[in-house]
Amino acid sequence: MKKSIRKPALVCPAGSLPALKIAVDNGADSVYTGFKNDTNARNFAGLNFSEQALADGIAYARAKGCSTLIAINTFPQQGRVEEWRRAVDRSAELGARAVILADMGLLAYARDRHPNLALHLSVQGSATNYEAINFCQREFGIRRVVLPRVLTLAQVEHLIQNTEAEIEVFGFGSLCVMNEGRCWLSSYATGESPNTVGVCSPAKFVRWERRNARADEVAGEHMEARLNGVLIDAFAPQESAGYPTLCKGRFEVQGDTYYALEEPTSLNTLEILPRLIQIGVSALKIEGRQRSPAYVGQVTRALRAALDRAAEAVAANEAEAYQAAPAWQHELSRVAEGRQATLGAYSRPWR
């Protein structure tokens, strides 16, 4: 299915009203948000929107030509389905452009109850092939799907060529090496699914413990991070201590201690933006609703400038001449995990 080449929409995170406003002011085409309840897979304390704050945010975004997408991306719990249906209803009533859903029952409900509300299949739906996407489009009328961060560029292109649904991919932010929102590692350690509690490492299971250095360590006070009693990492004095996520911890393996599963790093697609445009990607997503307004503003500015430049190069048949400006890379490196960047699954030269 041949699609016309157009500049992808820049979809930016908004975990709070200040973050929403700064995303809009710095060039977001869409912002994605969530309610302050269990319907939201990023239901962190101190973040997200009351209904009034969301109404204010939607009005602010609309006034500046920006659309609002509401993530209702957890799976409804037994006996509480009405809470999730209510979130869909309120999204439509408040004037959201689309809802981002993972649960098929909710997709069916939204399709039947709100036919004018656009439906996006969440990354939590883990659709990694066009048959799954075409099924959801045929049965529920989804307009767009957010792809998990596990596909190569060639796989994304093949998928786009075989579906009419819009394809949204991640352009910057944290990586996930598991099935999105369904991590068996954190479920094993805590007994709770990331999809239902909104985070890989729920705060109630996180413990920071200080201890003095052992004889074989750098002198000073060390910090240990544990998740439900499981030691995930130990940080030397003056070493920046990241939030303890199980897959990004350092573990002892056959006598060596290192990042055995995944080294802290951020996905950064600046250098392949022209290619993403050429293969027909409809939207580029910035990860980070749990991050600060300063992060949102910084990343939105850089990606806005880069995406505009890349689109101009592609339109002029000069994609090969496009180069990511050092200033953009510098801005993004300042907020990258571990101050490192990667193309993730997009680039697998060994395949």
| Mean pLDDT, each 10-residue run in order, the chain (351 residues) | 79 96 98 94 83 95 98 92 97 97 96 97 92 97 95 95 97 79 78 75 85 76 87 84 79 87 86 97 95 95 98 95 95 84 77 57
Specify which residues 268 forms β-bridges with: 172
**pLDDT of 32:** 98
Question: What's this model's pTM, rounded to 2 decimal places?
Answer: 0.90
| Phi (first) and psi of residue 210, to 5 degrees | -95, 145
For the segment(s) 9-175+265-346, the CATH number from 3.40.50.2000, 3.20.20.70, 3.40.50.12160, 3.30.70.260 is: 3.20.20.70
Question: Rounded distance, CA 282 to CA 280, Å?
Answer: 6
**pLDDT of 289:** 92
List CB contacts of 41: < 8 A, sequence separation 6 or more: 34, 71, 73, 74, 122, 124, 181, 194, 195, 198
Question: Rounded distance, CA 275 to CA 312, Å?
Answer: 13
**pLDDT of 331:** 93
**pLDDT of 342:** 86
What end-to-end distance do the CA atoms of the chain give, in Å?
25
**pLDDT of 351:** 57
DSSP 211-260: EE--TTS-SSEEEEEEETTEEEEEE-TT-------GGGS-EEETTEEE-S
**pLDDT of 186:** 81
**pLDDT of 245:** 81
Domain coordinates in residue numbering, the chain: 9-175+265-346, 193-258
Q: Cβ atoms within 10 A of the Cβ of 65, count?
A: 8
Pure H helices in 122-226: 130-140, 153-160, 184-190, 194-197
